[in-house]
């Protein structure tokens, strides 16, 4: 079994040019699979709103839901670095809310770090959480919780002017004390510049490969999420098709009387069947 990685391991990996692997997980079995597969990090993303609860977006997700799923993931992956994702309105209103809710993730679900969205506009939140002794991951570029003000779920930094704003956010997040940075849906050349400029490890989701590690949403990777597939997703298998086919075959077997078979039944202990029949005949 590999030993659980900590923040200094990710810094060392950046220095050594080794890529860090990061995936979302929302439940106990998936966390077990991920740990067995050798993932370095897991994110219990607020994407669970769409991937698990069927909401249209992440806005309705609550702290309690996030904690419940972090707790399950922690049990499934006790030796993996687990990140709790701060949901909408768990940090937007004040530094105090941010520290209190970040602390809940550690106390109630034993996570290793928290992630929050935003650049220059959340630096005081990042500073406050770091001062409370909690590992923080910044998240810039496309930040789904504020997709309304971004004009939808759109790639960011595609003009020179917008790219400069993304770089400004990245520098602000590092300056505020964040330990790692996630860049979402930004052109690869902008991410590469950020990863080379920042001393903290920089991760991409839909932001190219010239950085220190990658994140994907597990429900996209395994072909479970049906509503849409972002351009940056690589689907490694199609569990939706596999599960649907298995369910179809089960229905057919039940309807045709082919399930259960003898091997699926608990038979009576030797000699008891005869006694049972005799008792019933009396």
Rounded Cα distance between 29 and 183, Å, is: 28
Residue in 217, 220, 222, 223 binding ligand KIV, rule: CB under 6 A:
217
Query: How large is the angle between the packed helices 95-109 and 123-131, nearest 10 degrees?
Result: 50
Q: How far is CA 220 from CA 139, 216, 226, 238, 267, in A?
A: 19, 7, 8, 9, 43
Q: In the window 81-100, what residues touch ligand KIV (CB under 6 A)?
A: 85
Cβ contact 89:49 at 8 Å: no
Residue in 184, 202, 213, 218 binding ligand KIV, rule: CB under 6 A:
184
Q: How many residues bind ligand KIV (CB under 6 A)?
A: 11
205 binds ligand KIV (CB under 6 A): yes
Residue 141 CB, nearest distance to ligand KIV (Å)? 9
- Choose between 74 and 271: whose C-beta lies nearer to ligand KIV: 74
Does residue 184 carry a catalytic annotation? yes
Instruction: Please pick, among 108, 117, 184, 261, the residue that the annotation labels catalytic.
Output: 184
169 binds ligand KIV (CB under 6 A): no
Q: In this chain, which residue has its C-beta nearest to ligand KIV? A: 45
- Choose between 21 and 131: whose C-beta lies nearer to ligand KIV: 21
- Using alpha carbons, select from 33, 109, 20 the residue that is nearest to residue 64: 109
Which tokens belong to 220? 């996209």
Rounded Cα distance between 124 and 117, Å, is: 13
- Using alpha carbons, select from 100, 106, 102, 63 the residue that is nearest to residue 82: 106
Residue 213 CB, nearest distance to ligand KIV (Å)? 12
Residue 1 CB, nearest distance to ligand KIV (Å)? 26
220 binds ligand KIV (CB under 6 A): no
Q: What x-and-dash track marks residues 29-68 binding ligand KIV by CB under 6 A?
A: --------------x-xxx---------------------
Residue 54 CB coordination number (10 Å): 8
Contacts of 80 (CB under 8 A, 6+ apart): 4, 5, 31, 34, 35, 39, 40, 41, 42
Binding site for ligand KIV (CB under 6 A): 24, 43, 45-47, 85, 182, 184, 205, 215, 217
Catalytic residue set: 184
């Amino acid at each position: 079994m590999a030993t659980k990685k900590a923040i200094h391991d990710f810094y060392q990996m950046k220095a050594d040019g080794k890529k860090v692997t990061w995936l979302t997980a929302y439940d106990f079995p998936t966390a077990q699979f991920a740990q067995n597969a050798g993932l370095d990090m897991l994110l219990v993303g607020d994407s669970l709103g769409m991937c698990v609860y069927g909401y249209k977006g992440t806005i309705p997700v609550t702290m309690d839901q996030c904690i419940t799923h972090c707790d399950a993931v922690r049990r499934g992956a006790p030796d993996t670095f687990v990140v709790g994702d701060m949901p909408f309105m768990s940090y937007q209103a004040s530094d105090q809310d941010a520290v209190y809710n970040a602390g809940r993730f550690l106390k109630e679900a034993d996570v290793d770090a928290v992630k929050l969205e935003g650049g220059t506009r959340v630096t005081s939140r990042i500073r406050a959480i770091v001062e409370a002794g909690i590992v923080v991951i910044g998240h810039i570029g496309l930040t789904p919780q504020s997709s309304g003000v971004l004009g939808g779920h759109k790639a960011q930094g595609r003009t020179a002017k917008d790219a400069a704003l993304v770089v400004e956010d990245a520098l602000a997040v590092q300056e505020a004390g964040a330990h790692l940075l996630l860049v979402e849906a930004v052109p690869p050349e902008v991410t590469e510049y950020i990863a080379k400029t920042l001393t903290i490890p920089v991760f991409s989701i839909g932001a190219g490969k010239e950085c220190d590690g990658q994140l994907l949403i597990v429900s996209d990777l395994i072909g479970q999420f049906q509503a849409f597939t972002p351009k940056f997703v690589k689907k490694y298998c199609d569990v939706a098709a596999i599960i649907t086919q298995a369910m179809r075959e089960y229905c057919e077997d039940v309807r045709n009387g082919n399930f259960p078979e003898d091997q699926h039944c608990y038979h009576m202990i030797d000699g008891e069947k005869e006694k049972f029949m005799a008792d019933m005949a009396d």
